[in-house]
Amino acid sequence: MRRCFTVRQRRILAWIAASRCAQCGNPLEPGFHADHRIPFAYGGPTLIQNGQALCGPCNRKKGTTMPTPKLRPWQQEAHHKALTWLVKDRQDHRFLINAAPGAGKTRGSCALAKTLLELGEIDRVIVIAPRAEVVNQWADDFRQVTGRYMSKVTAKDGDIHQLGLDVCATWAAVQGLQDAFQAVCRAARVLVICDEHHHAAVQAAWGEGADSAFAT
């Protein structure tokens, strides 16, 4: 497996970081470090979604440590139960987290996705959220927790399978992305996170689209 990022990848990483170190925020110098968020030593791929632009001091400080988000007690409990259910016991491929608004279900779910990615249980993540502003929050939290870029997509984006990225969309966009989501799910092991899952009910306005997009 190739360890070094290409010149093109380095340029993209610098562009994503707005030419600033992703850790300390200082301006990047020409010889900045293209770092593997999940260390190469732990199987982290040399891909844009696993890369970040760091200054030399920040990269040396990070070393090969695995970043782990701090979780609240209920998030830790849910994290443990989900891993036991999905990975250890392999009871089912569905798991429900029921949390009050503002309790931190977004970051908790991102932490679970991070662990499943690191364990090699999944390849990609799709998040379906109720509104555009919530989609933005998911993308931001997902990047902070997992270190991976999450693309915000709409029905106009079409063939998202070719993007090779984790994606987030609104429930309203699912209808127009059915074929695209099916293609992604056929090509990779995908964790689908449904925020406000009641929208997925077949009787709901967007339920049939969700059922068709992610039917197994």
pLDDT beyond 60 at 66 = no
99: in domain:
yes
Let me know whether 93 and 165 are in one domain.
Answer: yes
Let me know whether 87 and 131 are in one domain.
Answer: yes
Q: Which of 62, 84, 107 is the last residue of a domain?
A: 62
Long-range contacts of 81-86 (CB under 8 A, 24+ apart): 82/112, 83/112, 83/115, 83/116, 86/116, 86/121
Dihedral, CA of residue 53, residue 168, residue 120 and residue 55, to nearest 10? 10
Let me know whether 129 and 198 are in one domain.
Answer: yes
Q: Confidence class of residue 185 from pLDDT cuts 50, 70 and 90?
A: confident
Let me know whether 112 and 39 are in one domain.
Answer: no
Range of the domain at 154: 73-214
3-42 pLDDT, tens digit per residue, is: 899 999 999 999 999 999 998 999 999 999 999 877 777 6
Let me know whether 130 and 28 are in one domain.
Answer: no
Out of 11-15, 70-74, 150-154, give the one with best mean pLDDT. Answer: 11-15
Out of 9-13, 145-149, 154-158, 211-215, give the one with best mean pLDDT. Answer: 9-13
Q: For the chain, what is the domain count?
A: 2
Let me know whether 130 and 57 are in one domain.
Answer: no
- Percent of the chain clearing pLDDT 90 (strictly above): 31
Let me know whether 39 and 106 are in one domain.
Answer: no
Let me know whether 55 and 86 are in one domain.
Answer: no
177: in domain:
yes
Let me know whether 146 and 200 are in one domain.
Answer: yes
30 or 216: whose pLDDT is higher? 30
Q: What is the CATH number of the domain that holds 123?
A: 3.40.50.10810
Task: Note the pLDDT of residue 19.
Answer: 93
pLDDT beyond 80 at 114 = yes
67: in domain:
no
Let me know whether 123 and 176 are in one domain.
Answer: yes
Task: Note the pLDDT of residue 74.
Answer: 93
pLDDT, mean of residues 97-124 = 90
1: in domain:
no
State the chain's mean pLDDT as an integer.
84
Dihedral, CA of residue 60, residue 61, residue 64 and residue 68, to nearest 10? -150
Q: How far is CA 175 from the centre of its chain?
A: 21
Q: What is the CATH number of the domain that holds 36?
A: 3.40.1800.10
184: in domain:
yes
Let me know whether 158 and 209 are in one domain.
Answer: yes
37-58 pLDDT, tens digit per residue, is: 777 776 678 888 888 999 999 9
Q: Can you tell me the distance from the alpha carbon of 10 to that of 174, in angstroms, rounded to the nearest whole number? A: 33
Let me know whether 139 and 51 are in one domain.
Answer: no
Q: Confidence class of residue 112 from pLDDT cuts 50, 70 and 90?
A: very high
